[in-house]
Structure 1
Amino acid sequence: MNENLFTPFTTPTLLNLPAVVPIILFPMLLFPTSKHLVNNRLIAIQQNLTQLILKQMMMIHNTKGRTWSLMLVSLITFIATTNLLGLLPHTFTPTTQLSMNLAMAIPLWAGTVITGLRFKTKSSLAHFLPQGTPTLLIPMLVIIETISLFIQPVALAVRLTANITAGHLLMHLIGSAVLALSTINFLATSLTFVLLLLLTILEIAVALIQAYVFTLLVSLYLHDNT
């Protein structure tokens, strides 16, 4: 039995050492690679999905923004596979940790901001003060825009953490209810189990959608700075 609802979200250890690093590296082993001239169906599907993601992400970018293609595809693939693997029994989801999500969000956000300041300095600084602002409101607007800029990576990380954690907690609660009702009422157990299956399907969709949303927002920040 778990001591509390948040026990599944504690970082696992192996020989008294944090096991987060091998857990994070494990999804990369699931992607097949081909050493032959003719690819099999699995690799062909993987390539088609990658091309579809690239097309959706990069159609709004110019040449400078498209240099981030590999980064964005790797990011959405990593987050999606990590979220999906976390739905398996007796597993750990690294994206439920705010520290890890901040470690992804802050460097990516900082990279887009630095890119904008380097290549579009005037345009990037112009975002802090909209055209036609009354003189009295200038200091207040600059402060507000600065705060909103620095809050972007926090919003990215918190959104991903909250959505994944909330879904896992709900599944844990309903799973506990199924076990508790199994010895009391068969009909109630069956209905609760069906609800758990539907929630599992929803969580699979949420895992993929959150990976797409995280990467799409990074792509939009990049678009504003290139």
Structure 2
Amino acid sequence: MTLSFFDQFLSPSFLGISLMTLALTLPWVLLPTPGPRWMSSRLLTLQNWFINRFTQQLFTPVGVSGHKWALILTSLMMFLVILNSLGLLPYTFTPTTQLALNLGLAIPLWLATVLIGLRNQPTISVGHLLPEATPGMLIPILVVIETVSLFIRPLALGVRLTANLTAGHLLIQLISTATFVLLPMLPAVALLTMLLLYLLTILEVAVAMIQAYVFVLLLSLYLQENV
């Protein structure tokens, strides 16, 4: 019984063919795109307003040279929001519950920010490994600690996104299972758990958007350190 709760986090397949590719391409189909009309629809106008506000807020503290990343990080934000939200629908799959996918997004983008810093400002980038006015006895220890913390960053990005989505989905399934079990025996208690499930679903929608924002925000902070 316990193992069945985690079946929702397995990579789905049909006739032995993995459906991960289909799940990754689906968000781009759902995004509204401009049509041949002169006037945009309300949904497209709302999407453009959201993208503009998000991009402005995200790149205000970043230097001008880092604004080249606006398209990448904004697209990643929209991509993650839709992927995380789709997993709340019945008979769907959330690819971002897979640690391999999240690390596949986090590691290349984090490594790109580090390489940009080493290319454009190598002294400042290497200087982040050692704070100023450090006693001589602590220099080797602090260099090792800062180096480890630097390489842990992409792992923390991937694990944070995976853990938050997995915990939320698992909790929803546990409460929904309890609701179905209690419904024939204790209808009043089942209604309370159903109300709790409704509130938890709203919270999970917020978590899906917030975690996507946090993922992109941390990448922008890493970029800010290296430009």
With the length of structure 1 as denominator, give the TM-score of the two structures. Answer: 0.98
Q: Deviations over 1:162-211 (max 9, x none)?
A: 00000000000000000100110110110000000000000000000000
Aligned to 2:20: 20
Q: Distance in 1 between matches of 2:155 and 2:3?
A: 30
Amino acid at match of 1:142: V
Aligned to 1:135: 136
Q: Distance in 1 between matches of 2:35 and 2:173?
A: 42
Aligned to 2:101: 100
1:35 shift after superposition: 2.8
1:2 shift after superposition: 8.5
Q: Distance in 2 between matches of 1:105 and 1:34?
A: 30
Aligned to 1:221: 222
1:34 shift after superposition: 1.7
Note the aligned Cα RMSD (angstroms).
1.1
Q: Deviations over 1:83-110 (max 9, x none)?
A: 0000001111000000000000000100
Aligned to 2:162: 161
Q: Distance in 2 between matches of 1:32 and 1:143?
A: 48
Determine what percentage of the aligned residue pairs are the same residue. Answer: 48
1:33 shift after superposition: 1.2
Q: Distance in 1 between matches of 2:151 and 2:15?
A: 39
1:38 shift after superposition: 2.0
Does residue 1:121 correspond to 2:122, yes or no? yes
Q: How many residues align?
A: 226
Aligned to 1:146: 147
Does residue 1:195 correspond to 2:196, yes or no? yes
Amino acid at match of 2:102: N
1:155 shift after superposition: 0.3
Amino acid at match of 2:221: L
Gaps of 5+ in 2: none
Gaps of 5+ in 1: none
Q: Distance in 1 between matches of 2:96 and 2:33?
A: 26
**Equivalent residue runs for 1:37-116 within 5 Å:** 37-116=38-117
**1:105–1:198 distance in 2 versus 1, CA, 3 Å:** same
1:42 shift after superposition: 1.1
Amino acid at match of 2:12: P
**What is the SS of the residue equivalent to 1:5?**
helix
Q: Deviations over 1:2-24 (max 9, x none)?
A: 85211111110022111100111
Amino acid at match of 2:206: A
Aligned to 2:11: 11
Amino acid at match of 1:38: M
Aligned to 1:32: 32
Q: Runs ≥4 in structure 1, deviation > 3 angstroms?
A: none
Amino acid at match of 1:7: D
